[in-house]
Chains A and B, each alone.
Chain A
Amino acid sequence: MFKVAAIGLAFMTTSAAVNASEMEVSFTNKDMVQNGATYSYALETMNTINASVLEVDIRIQGEGDSVFQMLPACTEWQGSTCVGAAKDILHSEFLHEVDVSVECNGQALYQKTKNNIEFTNEEIVTTASQLAFVHSEIKLNRIECSDLNVNVRTVNGANDAIITGVVRFKDSTSIPTFKNYDVNL
């Protein structure tokens, strides 16, 4: 009788752990707290996340910094010495750069900086920019945590952003949300 009860309890525990392990969180910038150029999303889960697959799909629409000016440029170099004629040439530079981090219990699970960048002799007519952080990986060391934090920080560009994001903690790669998975510790 005791044996049966013990097996039953173990099953329940395992069952509870499996139910608690997988989690999908969707959010937008409206669900996040903005502090200057940083948007933060914090979630304290009811149950501990216990998963080995992490999927991140965070998309950001923002505005980059742009400069457009006529600049004198050297037309020929020899080493670090200008030996050619100086010529006024149109220069445009554009940069929109965003840093995204996903942390759980203060431990970084994913961190990436991406940018849209331009250096051209044409005028850049729009400063609108979109960046996508799409990542999927299998963690050989299982993820076990409960406090999830997602931070989206604009490094270069306007502070305000439109953000849509999904973070998934899974224990399977069978559902075809992603085709390929990195494998990391």
Chain B
Amino acid sequence: MKKLCILVGMIGCMSQAYALEQQKVVTVNQDVITLSMEDFQPITTNWANREVTTGYQALIDVVGAESSLVFQGKGELTARWFASNFGMTAKVSCSGIPIGMDKVYGYRINRVSTPASPEISELRHNVGACTQLKIEFNKEGSISRQFYTRIQDINFSLSVKGLNNTSGGV
């Protein structure tokens, strides 16, 4: 029985390491990648002897970066119905370079929940060293507010394009 527990534990560790290695990849000028809840890792902290999820982050490898890039991201974050009035800050950086940010709100009005819809559309220069995108969604408000903001789903699509320097010249 003990051996079985150790084996299960080892498989668990291996699958966790495998998950860390299996980062999504976005290729410049090619793909639109779609991230779901499973692609994000919770960002946690301890509060009143409880683990509080204060946000979520995803790491995406970038292939084919150029000096100037256009980053486009769009998605939705849905909270449980009782926590539908919430604020969220979306922040995107690439290899430590600031790319873009959005601050969005989810609403619940007349018993209908509206998800928070972050959107980023930015042209950034001097980003030739961009090899890994970091996408963060951080909950707004006090730590107790963050504790009760239960996110149940994340959908976020992202693309990276280079500037076409050969057309449009006069």
Contact = CB atoms under 8 A, between A and B. Distances in A.
**A interface: dominant SS:** strand
Contacts of A97: 103
Given A75-B96, A77-B59, A119-B93, 9 more contacts: A84-B132, A87-B96, A93-B98, A115-B103, A117-B103, A119-B92, A119-B98, A120-B100, A120-B122
Interface residues of A, number: 27
Contacts of A122: 125
Contacts of A185: 110
B134 A77 contact: yes
A123 to B, nearest CB: 12
A74 interface: yes
**B interface: dominant SS:** strand
Contacts of B110: 184-185
Interface string A78-113: 111000100101111101010000000000000001
A89 B96 contact: yes
Interface of B: 20, 41, 43, 57, 59, 91-93, 95-103, 105, 109-110, 122, 124-127, 129, 131-132, 134
Contact of A76 (B92, B95, B100, B122): B95
Contact of A73 (B57, B96, B101): B96
Contacts of A74: 96
Interface string A171-182: 000000000000
A119 B126 contact: no
